[in-house]
Amino acid sequence: MSQATEAGPATARPARLPPTTDDGFVGWLRKNLFSSIGNSITTIVVVAFLVWLITWFVDWALLHATFRAETGKDCAKSSGACWALIGEKFRYIFFGSFPYEQHWRPLFAIITMIAMLLLSSDRRMWNWRLAVIWPVGSFITFLLMFGQIHIPVTLIFLVALIAGLGGFLLRRDVADQGERVAYMALMAIGAVYLVLRILGVLPGLAIPIAPFSYVETGLWGGLAVTMILATYGLAFAFPYGILLALGRRSNLPLIRGLCVGFIELIRGVPLISLLIMASLMLPLFLPSGMNFDKFLRAQVAVILFAGAYIAEIVRGGLQSLPKGQFEAADAMGLNYVQKTVFIVLPQALRVVIPPLINTFIGFFKDTSLVLIIGIFDFLSTSNQALVDPLWTGYPGEVYLFAAAVYFFFCFSMSRYSKYLERELNKGTQR
């Protein structure tokens, strides 16, 4: 009986619908937005809210907005945004109290800094070209902002000493005799001049460069101040933070203790307290008649604060490296400087790119705290644009414009972080 059943004709099966596919745009929608009744309802509600919000914003910001007006009262006739306020105050928002007829100077200073950052983001420039781009770009930036620069001769010989010492330590095992002699000559010339200068044998000389009228830092403001504080604060804090991270991992108890104490002290206080200390307390400890520019003091406070946080991030990257990397570098006969620069740091920095960029973005926004000591950055000048009684009542337009500028810079850094992380990790992907 069982054999007859097995040999008999197969029973008819009910027809089934073809399986749903998750391929393509429709499949993605079905899988992510309409996979269940709850998800479908949520998707419909959120889409309806976004459509309403975008429609309202377009109507407020474009269709019924006022782009030209003499005063704020003219904008009150319309129910839309008052972009005429931005058109009237944009020069003060971007350049602060800088002399009006000289606004082209901070404009070109901003363009110069952006060009420096764009060139530095190109990996093909990560060589000796950066040693040319940053000094030249910085010279142009501060010459435009100050109008007059007096370069101390002592600074030139100090740079020669540092360049000779750094080149000799990094390339003494691979450089030819002529290159080593050049490094030693730079060290000797710089050291001799600095010793004679300290002893008072040589006078303090400076090279004056004064193509424009002088503008003191108290008149600086706007986007130029934000970019200078952020760019040069992080440019100096980055190598300084690396040195702190290496010092914290040192085998010498004194160096390790000093680095640990400094990092924990700086990270244990808010940036505002450092700014107030630099602005109000530091002059009390200086000798009578000696004072530093307030902008310079704020810049140093930002550098110290950023360096302490960068040091902890870099230390995390150093601890993530396997011990075999250090042993392999020792087996190759590399000294400490070569091992650190060529083997250890490139791998450690590649690991900590996301938290580093996150720190950079945070400190770019934290430059707005310098208002507490009377320095007007971009957000501060945007806020001051609302003080004019002829344009009161439209803070939303000003803050929305300021938010768009901040978003442009922060989003650019975020996207570059993802690109850099992807490019530097190509060799480790499987």
Query: SS3 sequence, 235-273?
Result: HHHHHHHHHHHHHHCCCCHHHHHHHHHHHHHHHCCCHHH
First-to-last alpha carbon distance for the chain, in angstroms, is: 59
Is the model's pLDDT at 77 over the cut of 60?
yes
pLDDT confidence band for 22 (50 / 70 / 90): low
Question: Which amino acid is it at 369?
Answer: L
Provide the mean pLDDT of the chain. 88
- Superfamily name with CATH number, domain 89-98+217-428: MetI-like (1.10.3720.10)
Task: Give me the pLDDT at residue 75, please.
Answer: 86
Strands in 360-412 per DSSP E: 376-377
Is the model's pLDDT at 6 over the cut of 60?
no
Contact (Cβ atoms closer than 8 angstroms) between residue 193 and residue 202:
yes
Residue 82 per-residue DSSP state = B
Beta-carbon neighbour count of residue 168 at 10 Å? 17
User: How much is the average pLDDT of 103-128?
Assistant: 93
Task: Give me the pLDDT at residue 1, please.
Answer: 47
pTM for the model stands at 0.85
150: enclosing H helix or E strand:
strand 149-152
> Could you tell me how far CA 24 lies from the centroid of its own chain?
39
Tokens linked to 198: 């300290």
- pLDDT digit string (tens) for 268-295? 999 999 898 888 777 777 677 667 788 9
> Could you tell me how far CA 216 lies from the centroid of its own chain?
25
Four-residue CA torsion sign, 43, 45, 46, 52: positive
pLDDT confidence band for 10 (50 / 70 / 90): low
Is the model's pLDDT at 55 over the cut of 90?
yes
Exposure class string for 350-377: b at 16+ Cβ within 10 A, else e:
bbbbebbbebbbebbebbbbbbebebbb
Q: Which residue carries 């377009």 as its tokens?
A: 58
Contact (Cβ atoms closer than 8 angstroms) between residue 241 and residue 310:
yes
For residues 19 and 16, give the distance between their C-alpha atoms in angstroms, rounded to a whole number.
9
Beta-carbon neighbour count of residue 290 at 10 Å? 7
Angle of CA points 319, 325, 328, to nearest 5°: 150
Q: Please tell me which residue, 290 or 299, carries the higher pLDDT value.
A: 299
